[in-house]
Structure 1
Amino acid sequence: MKTIAILGSSGGNLYNLGGKEPDKLLEEIAVQAAAAGLRIRAVQFIAAQGSMDMAGSDTGASVFGWDGEAPAVLFTGTLEACNRHVRELDERIAADIRRGEIDGLILMSADPDGANRLAIEAAVERGVPIVGTGGTSMALVSAKGANVIASSGTTGTTNRTRAVSFVAALSKHWGINYRPVIGTAGKSGVVPDGQPWKRINVRGIMMASLPGFIAMAVILALGKVPGLEALQGVFDLLIKALPVVVAAVAAKQVAEMEEVSVVAGVLAGVLSVDGGIIGGMIGGIGAGVLVHLLFRTCVEWRFPATTVNIIAGGVSGLAAGLAVHFLFAPVALQAGELIKVLIESAVGYSPVLAGLIAGLLIWPAILGGVYHAAILPIVLLEMEKTGNSFLGAVDMVGLVMVSAGITLANIVSPREKSEAAVAAPGFLINMGFGTFVEAAYPFMFANRIVFAGAIVSAGLAGMLAGMFGVRGTAYVPSIVAPLLSNNIAGFAMAMAGGLVSSFLFTLVANKIAKRSTGKTGEQASA
């Protein structure tokens, strides 16, 4: 097993690109090193409380070392005191290098004439391979005759891309098989990074993009307020921005390369706006896959880290975006329009029947895992065109309000006193945030009448939504929801219908259950 040492500081430009969080910076390198089978022997990293470009001798700073498993703070004081403190550590690392106990160095904004002088001199004597970032410091290291196998500036890099570049260069030099890892660095675990297409998850992309759609619905509602008509232009702008939001989320989830993947996603999204949110999703997914492929290729070719990021982020976004812009946008846009037309046709044929069927099916859909996989994306496709949605309204009146009614009944008249404490948080979240319908699950699964009542109540609420021609959304406070709809009074009545119906069903079910329990107790006493 090869051993390495990590030397350097939070630097000037590096401070703004991850250096201000030294624990995360060092943990990311540790994760990538472990993936290559490299053992960290020592760390000497001075983290200042500001950019070194502006820091003075009295600037606060900390010295990070290595406790054998993770980075650890060894000393805290002024920058001048930290520089004095690391002299002994520098001597120790230099001795380890001369004894052959350290096989390679990773440098980040190192100080070859100061804090890291002895270690770098020893590395030069032994011909130890060195990788690192920091234009000025790496130039000085090279000038001393060091065996620098990969060097780059810091601009455009991130903690992850730097770490992958460092370890990839050392692994290639030593002939070690290395596959980068992604995910959260540190003790929470990592996920092998080999097949980005396995991280494509339409449901996850849509859920993460939801705040953008809700923001658009809020602007739509505010634009209807007298005196705020100018917000209609903002609404139109937000509709155009939604594909960019979806693309950025998709690229980040697929590539998992931090800011690089976000940049690629934004570029792809901007070029995919003509394809709507489906086009944005295609562009973002394509950008995420290309980021992964181009990044690994550039690292294997030993491109500087800054160039790797520029190619991975810029070229990936452009390539995926241009492909959607010229090839897939018309098809993607038509697919979105087709879904909208089908829903409008069903509602146009019989709004009451469409609402009834949607309401009756929405609980089985969420219980069967279909809601987030199919219904939510359709809701967002509807919202892309009009700012609100028929199925979004059914979601609020048939799921959220029904769940609120069930939990409210268990607060007012629970089967057992302990159930009131369980129901209260769920009711408050349903009413206050328009989500967490799962709060009703314990009561639905425990009583068939409550379960049947939830489905019937959702059907009734959906029917009312269809009757009043309601379009709206969930995931907002219940008091606000009607204001974001196309029919304030109609939406409020449909919401009330779902809540009151499920409340009464649950109330009756609880009374029957309590009577049954009481009779059983009397028979047992007799």
Structure 2
Amino acid sequence: MKNIVIIGSSGGNLFNLGGAKPVQLLEEILKQAHAAGLNVKNIQFIAAKESMDTAKSNTAAGIYGYKENAVLPLFEASLKEVNHEAAKLDQMIADSIRNGEVDGIIAMSADTKAVNKETLAAAIESKLPIVGTGGTSMAAMTSMGANVISSSGTTGSTSRTRAISFISSLCKHWNIKFNPIIGSYEKAQQTNAAPWKNINIRGIMVSSLPGFIAMALILAVSQIPALKGLTDIFDLMINALPVMLAVIAAKQVSELDEVSIIAGVIAGVLSVQGGIIGGIIGGIAAGILVQFFFRKCIEWKFPITTVNIVSGGLSGLIAGLIVYYLIGPVALQAGNLIKEIIEQTVAFNPILAGVLAGVLIWPAILGGVYHAAILPIVLLEMEKTGNSFLGAVDMVGLVMVAAGINLANIIAPRDRGESAVAAPGFLINMGFGTFVESAYPFMFSNKIVFGGALVSAGIGGALVGLFNVRGTAYVPSFTAPFLSNNITGFIIAMAVPLIVAFLITLAANKLPAKKKAAKKSEDEVAV
């Protein structure tokens, strides 16, 4: 196993690109080093509270080291005092190099003339391979005769891309196989795994929901006569939806943070004409290409700044142009076809369509179909009009029904403990328009309550069809009617299923008590 040390500081430009968060920056290097089977022998990293370009001797700073397999602050004081203390650690690392205990060095904005001079002198004597960033410091090391095998500036880089570049260069030098970890800290995903395995349409849709709700809010406010000018903002936001979805898709697929975000933005802008389906396709393609170009550029030993420019810019451009010229028109037609089918179905018999949607929406969410199939259709409807038929059914058939069930269990629970369980669920149902899962315990434990939920949802759906309501869930219940196309109709459609679900659940909860009382009377008569 090769031993490496990490030296340097939070730097000037580096401060704005990860240096201000030293623990996260260093942990990313540790993660990549462990993936390659390298051992981090020691760390001497000086982090100031501001960029070294403007820092003074009295600027607050700290030394970060490596103890007990963790990055820890070793000493905190003014920058002058920290530098004095860091010199001791510098000498310690230099001694370990001369004792043959270190095989390579990672340097970030290192100080070649003061706090890192002993380490670098020992490294030059031992001809240790050095990789790092910081244009001035790396150039100084090279002129001193250091064995710099890879160097780059920090512009355009991130903590993750720098760490991968450092470890990749050292591994190439030592002929060690290295599969970089490019996923999150909690969920590592290696680059040798197919990026398309990260594609999750449901995850993309759910993550994008706040953007659609924001659009619905603008639509509602624009209905106020004095604010009619906001209709232009609404149209602008519709065009922004594909960009938003592309960014989310690219980031989820590639997991390369800022690099993938840039690729997603470029691809999304070029995918606008394809609607939200075009945006999703463009973002997914950009995410896959980001991983491909990033890996190739690292293999070709491009400077990390160039790696990010190529993988972020080129990936987004290629994916976006493909959607713009080839996929966009087809994607737009597909989206319009789905919306047209919904509209025609509702137009044929709106009440029947509402009943079916209301009754089936509970089995859909229980079976895991809702987020995979219904939510995308809701968002496709909202892309066109800012609200949705199925979105209205969601609010009345799921949220209001769950609220009715929870309310009944607050007022007249079968057991005292159920009231405490139902109260938070009811508040979230009414206050945020979500968390229908809160009704599951009561539905699963009582067939009457479960059947009541289906009946109530069917009635709510019928009212949505009757009043031709278009709306959305995921907003506070008292604001939902104002985001719809029919305020009065939506209020009625929301109130009725809530009351029906409440009454059925209330009756179901009282049955066990009546049976228990009747049994007690029978026992007394028998005695």
Could you say which TM-score interval applies, normalised by the shorter chain? Answer: over 0.9
CA pair 5-521 structure 1, distance change in 2 beyond 3 A: farther
Pick aligned residue for 1:191 from 189, 192, 196: 189
Match runs of 1:8-407 below 5 Å: 8-185=8-185, 188=186, 190-193=188-191, 194-407=193-406
The offset of 1:524, in angstroms, is 7.8
Q: Which segment is superposed worse, 108-117 or 471-480?
A: 108-117
Give how far 1:141 is off. Answer: 1.1
Judge conservation of contact 2:263–2:316 (CA < 8 Å) in 1.
Answer: yes
Give CA deviations for 1:308-362 in whole Å, capped at 9, x if unaligned.
Answer: 0000100000000000000100000011001000000000100001000000100
Q: Residue 271 of structure 2 contacts residue 320 of structure 2 at CA under 8 Å; is this kept in 1?
A: yes
Q: 8 Å contact 2:183–2:256 — kept in the other structure? A: no
Deviations 1:83-112 (A, max 9, x none): 000111000101111111111111111111
1:421 is aligned to 420
1:184 Cα deviation after fit? 2.8
The offset of 1:143, in angstroms, is 1.0
Q: Report the Cα distance in structure 2 between the residues aligned to 1:482 and 1:182, rounded to whole angstroms.
A: 44
* 1:387-466 alignment, distance < 5 Å: 387-466=386-465
Deviates more, 1:126-135 or 1:231-240: 126-135
Q: Give distance in 2, aligned partners of 1:13 and 1:74.
A: 24
Q: CA RMSD in A?
A: 1.1
Report if the CA contact (8 A) 1:13-1:51 is conserved: yes
Gaps in structure 1 of 5+ consecutive residues: none
Contact 1:41 1:68 in 2 (8 A): no
Q: Is the 8 A contact 1:57 1:79 kept in 2?
A: yes
Q: Letter of the 1:374 partner, please give it.
A: A
Cα distance in 1 for partners of 2:346, 2:129 equals 69
Measured after TM superposition, the shift of residue 514 of structure 1 is 2.3
Distance in 2, matches of 1:33 and 1:458, equals 55
| Alpha-carbon distance in structure 1 between the residues aligned to 2:37 and 2:517 | 66
Check the 8 A contact 1:244/1:266 in 2, yes or no: yes
SS in 1 for 2:142: helix
CA deviation string 1:378-437 (max 9, x = no partner): 100110011000000000000000000000000011001110000000000000000100
Residue in 1 that maps onto 2:2: 2
User: 1:129·1:170 contact (CA, 8 Å) conserved in 2?
Assistant: yes
Report sequence identity in percent: 62
Change (3 A) 1:138 1:467: same
Letter paired with 2:415: E
Question: What SS does structure 2 have at the residue aligned with 1:251?
Answer: helix
Do 2:272 and 2:279's aligned partners in 1 also have CA atoms closer than 8 Å? yes
Distance 1:116 1:511, change over 3 A: same
Distance 1:522 1:163 in 2: 76
Please state how far the C-alpha of 1:190 moved relative to its aligned partner. 2.4
Measure the CA separation in 2 of the matches of 1:455 and 1:498.
10
CA contact (8 A) 2:3 2:102 kept: yes
Secondary structure in 2 aligned to 1:227?
A: helix
Question: Residue 191 of structure 1 aligns to which amino acid in structure 2?
Answer: Q
**Structure 2 unmatched ranges of 5 or more:** none
Instruction: Give, in angstroms, the shift of residue 224 of structure 1.
Output: 0.3
Question: Matches of 2:177 and 2:118 in 1, distance apart?
Answer: 31
Give 1:172 shift: 1.1
How far apart, CA to CA, are the structure 1 residues paired with 2:377 and 2:101? Answer: 59
Counterparts of 2:287 and 2:504, CA distance in 1? 48
Q: Distance in 2 between matches of 1:189 and 1:143?
A: 41
TM-score by length of 1: 0.98
Report the Cα offset of residue 470 of structure 1. Answer: 0.3
Of residues 462-471 and 96-105 in structure 1, the stretch that sits farther from structure 2 once superposed is: 96-105
CA distance in structure 2 between the partners assigned to 1:281 and 1:85 by the alignment: 52
Q: For the residues of structure 2 that align with 1:217 and 1:461, how far apart are their CA atoms?
A: 21
Q: 1:199 to 1:522 in 2, by over 3 A?
A: farther
| CA spacing shift, 1:335–1:465, aligned 2, 3 Å | same
Letter in 2 for 1:470: V
Return closer, same or farther for 1:522/1:49 CA change in 2, 3 Å cut-off. Answer: farther
Secondary structure of the residue aligned to 1:180 is coil
Residues 521 and 176 of structure 1: is their aligned pair in 2 closer, same or farther, counting only changes over 3 Å?
Answer: farther
How do residues 506-517 of structure 1 correspond to structure 2 at under 5 angstroms? 506-517=505-516
3-state SS of paired residue (2:226)? coil
Shift of 1:523: 6.8
| CA-CA distance at 1:115 after TM superposition | 1.0
Paired with 1:213 and 1:44, the residues of 2 have a C-alpha distance of: 47
Contact persistence 1:155–1:306 (CA under 8 A): yes
Distance 2:512 2:154 in 1: 68
Letter in 2 for 1:190: A
- DSSP-derived class of the 1:131 partner: strand
Letter in 2 for 1:9: S
Alignment: residue pair count: 524
State the match for 2:496 in structure 1: 497
Counterpart of 1:192 in structure 2: which amino acid?
Q
Per-residue CA deviation, residues 266-298 of structure 1 (Å, 9 max, x unaligned), is: 000000000000000000000000000100100
CA distance in 1, matches of 2:330, 2:519: 64
**Residue type of the alignment partner of 1:375:** I
Post-superposition shift, 1:522? 6.5
One-letter amino acid of the structure 2 residue matched with residue 166 of structure 1: F
Whether contact under 8 Å (2:49, 2:61) holds in the other structure is yes
Aligned mates of 1:521, 1:365 — CA distance in 2: 42
**Residue 523 to residue 446, structure 1, CA distance change in 2 (3 Å):** farther
Name the residue aligned to 2:481.
Answer: 482
3-state SS of 1:230 partner: helix
The one-letter amino acid paired with 2:90 is D
Cα offset for 1:497? 1.3
Letter aligned with residue 330 of structure 1:
P
CA distance in structure 1 between the aligned counterparts of 2:170 and 2:71, rounded to whole angstroms: 21
> Could you tell me how far 1:513 is from its partner in structure 2?
2.3
